[in-house]
Chain A
Amino acid sequence: MATFSTNEFRSGLKVMLDGDPCSIIENEFVKPGKGQAFNRVKLRNLKSGRVWERTFKSGESLEGADVMDRTMEYLYSDGEFWHFMEPDTYEQYQADKDAVGESAQWLKEGDRCEVTLYNDSPLAVVAANFVELEIVETDPGVKGDTASGGSKPATLSTGAVVKVPLFLSQGEIIRIDTRSGEYVGRGKS
């Protein structure tokens, strides 16, 4: 794997640090006119998700991390692993609970999502920004109530629970913003 010097650090670069793959979020060069130059670097540990700032002496280098983001199709979960497929090659990958994390509640079979591969195995899974899921359980819909602004909890086919407007009923398909976990509207399908 290539190594990268501090002057090549840029947002999105994946490097190895303390044995873990990390993604650079920000890189700021600081230097007193007559003194030592440093790079203040904000990083995200791709395994733990932790974000922190580390300072390097300018000119230092880090090894690149074999990390790639791929768009894949979610196939199914067997209870222990979640299975994904690369649509072009039909190559399949299995991700464990740590890699799927919070995204599990938004994964619907057949949907596209972003899978981060580290050394060719899934490190993280990010669901599409918007997903459409079926309401499997909620209080009966209040017909015609589209204006009162009230909401009620609804359980979706994936097990996620979101707040939805009162007029929605069981069996309906709704659209969710996975970044905030909020209802954004009725689904098209």
Chain B
Amino acid sequence: MRAFFDARSVLEVETPLLCSSTITDPAITPIASGERWLQTSPEYAMKRLLAAGSGPIYQICKAFRGAEAGARHNPEFTLLEWYRPGFSLSELMQEVAELVQAVLGDGPVEMLSYRELFERSLGLDPLTVGCDELEAFARERLDYSGGAETRDTWLDLLLTHLVEPGLSGRVFVYDYPASQAALARLRKDGEVTLAERFELYVDGVELANGYFELTDPGEQRARFEADNRALETRGELPRPLDEHLLAALQAGLPECAGVALGLDRLLMLKLGAERLEQVLSFDWSRC
């Protein structure tokens, strides 16, 4: 893997695991250690390096996310994350496909928009379907204990329970709903707004998540604040904003595309294993 990046003149970097601020994404539970936070990904620190003029960079590191333990999740896991200044999202998807090919060998690659994926698997248009209709569709097929949910929660429920299990081979899913942008840039496409984000699935396993990166500091701050409002609505404490990242965006992040890939999951796929614990020395239940 290091030879792969070396051949492409991508510089290996290392950034701190313990940080003074953390991610605001309400779907991720960061782990605090004393006065600091264990990183949930090296994204913010790497963007600061990019803004400082590092050029293309990659990192292989540990990342930590609380409350995520299961067949494909371990609260401590290994990420490969890399950034390509000047790359479009499709150029980055191409490079991700090449890296996966280098590890897993030759195999066909399919490209599907999020919309096509849902239309093909469930016959639903995920961008225009109403929330009530989504709920009725989900409840007809699944016994779900929760009450009213947001559109995105229904979409996530359908994705994880009915769509992902049916995926085989290497499938890039792109053009996510704007509400699922995270740190990707938004793009108007006729009537709808899409997030310039992709996910790579290999045999139904979510392996990598990439963005055409948001560079606007004002919009970045607004998204952080919206996340914190969502946390407070849930009765949780707001999380400190990463002012270092916001200052770096203010100074200027070059146009770039970036991706994070789960290395434990890649190893699992390489070995034909079904569960992460088969490729970890000691998984969460035993460490």
Q: Which residues of A are interface residues toward B (Cβ below 8 A)? A: 7, 28-38, 40, 52-60
Contacts and interface: CB of A to CB of B under 8 A. Distances in A.
A152 B155 CA distance: 58
A33 B206 contact: yes
Contacts of B67: 7, 37, 58-59
A63 to B, nearest CB: 13
Nearest to B207: A33
A25 to B, nearest CB: 14
Q: Across the A-B interface, give the 10 residue pairs with the lowest CB-CB distance, nearest first.
A: A29-B70, A35-B156, A30-B160, A36-B156, A54-B143, A36-B153, A56-B145, A57-B146, A34-B182, A33-B209
A36 B145 contact: no
B27 A36 contact: yes
21 contacts: A28-B71, A29-B71, A30-B160, A30-B164, A31-B73, A32-B160, A32-B206, A33-B209, A34-B27, A35-B152, A35-B153, A35-B155, A35-B180, A37-B67, A38-B160, A38-B161, A55-B143, A55-B144, A57-B145, A57-B153, A58-B67
A89 B71 CA distance: 43
B180 A36 contact: no
A29 B71 CA distance: 7
Interface string B131-175: 000000000001111100000110111011100100000000000
A175 B142 CA distance: 44
B209 A34 contact: yes
A10 B73 CA distance: 16
Q: Which of B25, B68, B69 has the most CB of A within 10 A?
A: B68
Interface string B18-30: 0000000101000
A32 B159 contact: yes
Contacts of A7: 67, 69
Contacts of B155: 35
Contacts of B73: 29, 31
B69 A52 contact: no
Q: Is the interface of B mostly helix, strand, loop or mixed?
A: mixed
Contact of A29 (B68, B142, B145, B182): B68
Given A53-B143, A54-B143, A54-B144, A28 B70 contact: yes
B146 A56 contact: yes
A52 B25 CA distance: 33
Nearest to B147: A57
Contact of B157 (A28, A29, A36): A36
B196 interface: no
A34 B209 CA distance: 9
A89 B57 CA distance: 70
Nearest to B195: A34
Interface in B21-46: 25, 27
Nearest to A62: B145
Contact of B161 (A30, A35, A59): A30
Contacts of B27: 31, 34-37
B199 interface: yes
B160 A31 contact: yes
Contact of A35 (B69, B70, B72, B159): B159
A28 B274 CA distance: 13
A60 B152 CA distance: 18
A56 B160 CA distance: 13
B207 to A, nearest CB: 10
Contacts of B72: 30
A29 B161 CA distance: 11
A60 B156 contact: no
Given A35-B27, A53-B143, A29 B199 contact: no
B25 A34 contact: yes
A29 B155 CA distance: 17
Contact of A60 (B68, B71, B145): B145
Contacts of A60: 145-146
A51 B3 CA distance: 51
Interface string B57-94: 00000000001111111000000000000000000000
Nearest to A27: B70
Interface in B240-266: none
A34 B182 CA distance: 7
A62 B70 CA distance: 19
A7 B180 CA distance: 25
A30 B158 CA distance: 11
A111 B27 CA distance: 54
